[in-house]
Amino acid sequence: MGEILDFAEAVWIGQADTYAHHPLSLPYGTDQVAESTWFHKFFSNTVIRETSEGLVMVDPSGFLGPEIKFEAVRAVTGQRLNTAIFTHGHVDHCFGVPIYAREAREKGWPPPRAIAHEAMPARFDRYRESRGYNEAINVRQFQGGAGPIHFPDDFYYPDVVYKDRLTIRVGGVTVLLHHARGETDDHTWVFFPDTRVLCTGDLIFWCVPNAGNPQKFQRYCKDWALALREMAALEPEVLLPGHGWPVMGADRVRQVLEDNAALLESIHEQTMTLMNQGASLDTVIHSVKVSEDLLAKPYLHPVYDEPEFIVRNIWRLYGGWYDGTPSHLKPAPEKVQAEEIARLAGGADKLAARALELAKAGDFRLACHLADWACLAAPGDPALARDMAGVYQDRARVETSTMAMGVFMAAARDLEAADRGPDETPTASVVLAQDERGRERQ
């Protein structure tokens, strides 16, 4: 086995774990995983399949580092790119084709084609309309508020789109494309019957499924689980995910697919039961529980997304934005609320002091409420802001998911900026911070 397959085995048997080796992070590299098939592990992954008429590639590149991906492909094969399949329209998956198109022009080859689900062009249009927002949220999610970050507005629209299913043949190789709403509304999973290779895109992530991302577009928990069950029914023998590592062998592949489906089904069923009883969002969030046995699986740790956020996404899909608390329907401005709470408490300093006490005791949920109120009630107090930044720093250190850690790191940076100025805020990678923390705890 090569380095990537060796590391996948180490994670599977517990010699390494995703708390110290995030699915998005190192090691990177390329391994052959089946006949004429290579897997390139990177921030997002690429699958390379040789045929007699050129390559079929699943997710050729993200918008960052397409040249790196190109060189990795050319290190294992010189075949032209015949067909690129985009599993979905997230910008870490649907780039790279222009490099191969340029190569084809230079060498006199036929141009490559790109295939995707029919919803992808609308996603690209939406990204153009909301580019500034996407830059802001990705700075929080991946850099803990330390910007800037570039979000693209130049997309390669697919040459061929399909609705539900599509079968193509390239150089004697049959490729099955299936649409599934899951992490996105435009998701495609891919199956190669001759090698039993399944390319899941982000429907498998080597962590709690990314079905709840708090800052991004709607996810589809129930549909996601159904797709995983459909994949398992095909009895694949190799699973190549959009992030993380290959899963080798029919038994392991089935286990990963079924466990991911079971987690999503449990969250969906519990959430819908409570919603159908008329429960408020607050009640639902704090009532839904996930099996600790599932979360202990090496491929289901909550290191990127987490179950609580999935609950909120299900609520958003079925229940809209009203959360069941009457005062939240038409609320007073948060600053006005904070000023009144501070007056009742005897001052913002009292709120800040209690926030520090609660944080020290490990009650970060309540501590952060008080920290927010204190800062809103006393916006001109840099010492108070610095102390409350410490509350958010401490909370970030105990969070397991990239989503939560990034938001809380960003909150701390915003408060620190009130004291020292934004230009002094260092850059950061949330994922690297997670890895470093995980290794320190080993």
- For the segment 264-305, what is each residue's pLDDT rounded down to a tens digit? 999 999 999 999 999 999 999 999 999 999 999 999 999 999
Segment 43-93, tens digit of pLDDT? 999 999 999 999 999 999 999 999 999 999 999 999 999 999 999 999 999
pLDDT per position as a tens digit, 405-440: 999 999 999 999 866 654 444 456 999 999 999 999
Q: Provide CATH 1.25.40.880 ranges for the chain.
A: 332-441
| Residues 6+ positions from 174 with CB-CB distance below 8 Å | 167, 168, 192, 193, 194
The CB density around residue 167, as the number of other CB atoms within 10 Å, is 12
**Topology adopted by domain 332-441:** 1.25.40
Rounded-to-integer distance, Cα 49 and Cα 174, Å: 11
Mean pLDDT of 371-387: 98
Average pLDDT, the chain: 97
Question: Where in the chain are all domains bearing CATH 3.60.15.30?
Answer: 3-264
Per the document, the length of the chain is 442
Q: Backbone dihedral region of 36: left (phi > 0), alpha (psi from -120 to 50 degrees) or beta?
A: left
pLDDT of residue 421: 55
Task: Tell which residue, 355, 347, 428, has the closest CA to residue 391.
Answer: 355
Q: Are 269 and 236 a contacting pair, CB within 8 Å?
A: no
- 3-264 homologous superfamily: Metallo-beta-lactamase domain (3.60.15.30)
Residue 255 has pLDDT above 60, yes or no: yes
What's the pTM value of the predicted model, to 2 decimals?
Answer: 0.96
- Which pLDDT belongs to residue 423? 45
Reading the block at residue 260, the tokens are 């991911």
Tokens of 165: 């299913």
Provide the CA 215 distance to its chain's centre, in angstroms.
11
Task: Write the burial class of residue 217 (CB in 10 Å: 0-12 exposed, 13-18 middle, 19+ buried).
Answer: middle
